[in-house]
Amino acid sequence: MMSIIPLLKGAVRPVVNYALPPRCPGCGTIVAEDFAFCLTCWGGMAFLGEPCCARCGVPFPHDMGDGAECGACMADPPPWDSARAVMAYGDVARTVALRLKYGRRIGLARLIARMMLRHVGDGEAVIVPVPLHRWRLWNRGFNQSALIADHLGRMTGWPVDKHLLRRVKRTAPLRGMNTKQRAKVVRGAFALAPGRRPDLAGRRLLLIDDVHTSGATAAACVRALKRGGAGDVRLLCWARVLPDHVD
C-alpha cells in the first residue's frame, strides 16, 4: 500500500496544478511550482547578508572586518546579541507578510522559514517566537511568528518553545508611531511565563519575528529574556525596515 502512495500523488498533482496552479507569493501570477517567486518579484527583493553590522545586521557598503558594528549600535547598543533579516522591507516583503498575517495564507510561514535558514547561525538554539497578546491571538486565530518558528524547528531540528515568553500587556497597534513612541508603548509588555526562569539560565535563544520596523517590540522581548537569565539571544526576521525608512 505504501508503494502506491507516491504513484497516487504523482497522478493527482497535475490535476491539482491545472485546477489550482501555483502562484507567486508576491503578485499572484502563475509560476512553475509552489512557493516560487516570479522573475519580476524576485528581482524586486533586496536580500540582506554580509557585509553588515555584526550587531543589528544593517548592510555595509563594503567589508568592514569581523565584528564591525555600525555607528548607531556603538552609540546605543541594542539588547540582542545579533539581528538578521532575510530581506529589506519593500513591496514584495510587505505583501507576503500581510498575506500571512491578515490574509490567513498560513502556508507562507513555511516559505518564510525556508528562506530564513541561511541566517540561523551556528550552534543549536531554542527557537522562541515573539508572542501575541491572548486577545489578539483569539481574534486572529494564530500567531504568525509561532507558525514560522514551528517550521524552522522542523527544518533545523532545534527545539521550539512557544510558551517561554508571554505578552502580558495589550498594546495599541504600532503602525504610524515613531521609534520613541513604539518603545514607550511596548515597555513592560513582555515577561517570562511563571516558573520558567530555571529553564532559561544561560540558554542560547533564537527570537523569531515577521517584520523588524524600529526594533522596539523585539528589544522589549530580548530584555525580558535577558532579565530571566538567557545567555546569547539572536533575532531573526523575515524583513526589516532599514533605518532611513523607519516612520
Nearest-5° Cα angle at 100, 34 to 27: 55
pLDDT for the residue numbered 207: 98
Q: For residue 215, what is its C-alpha cell?
A: 526594533
Q: What is the pLDDT of residues 120-179, one digit of tens each?
A: 988 899 999 999 888 887 888 899 999 999 999 999 999 999 999 999 888 767 777 777
- Taking only the tens place, the pLDDT of each residue in 76-86 is 999 999 999 99
Pairing of β 190-192 and β 165-167: antiparallel
- Beta strand 205-212 with 190-192: parallel, antiparallel or unpaired? unpaired
Question: How many CA atoms lie less than 13 Å away from 129 in the CB half-sphere?
Answer: 22
Name the nearest CA neighbour of 112 among 132, 122, 98, 125. Answer: 98
Give which of 195, 198, 211, 203 is closest to 231, Cα–Cα: 203
Q: Rounded mean pLDDT of the chain? A: 88
Q: Which of 188, 186, 206, 195 is nearest to 228 (CA)?
A: 195
How many angstroms separate the CA atoms of 75 and 78, rounded?
A: 10
Q: Are 235 and 84 in contact (CB under 8 A)?
A: yes
This prediction's pTM: 0.88
Return the beta strands (E) in 38-144 as ranges: 82-88, 126-129
Identify the structural domains of the chain with CATH numbers, from first to last.
79-245 (3.40.50)
pLDDT at 188: 85
Residue 171 and residue 159: Cα distance in Å, rounded? 29
How large is the C-alpha radius of gyration of the chain? Answer: 19
Task: Give the tens place of pLDDT for each residue, 169-213.
Answer: 887 677 777 778 787 878 888 999 999 898 888 899 999 999 999
Residue 2 CB-density burial (10 A; 0-12 exposed, 13-18 middle, 19+ buried): exposed
Q: Are 152 and 120 in contact (CB under 8 A)?
A: yes
Peptide bond into 51 cis (omega under 30): yes
pLDDT range class, residue 29, cuts 50, 70, 90: very high
In this structure, of 27-31, 62-66, 135-139, 149-153, the range with the lowest mean pLDDT score is: 135-139
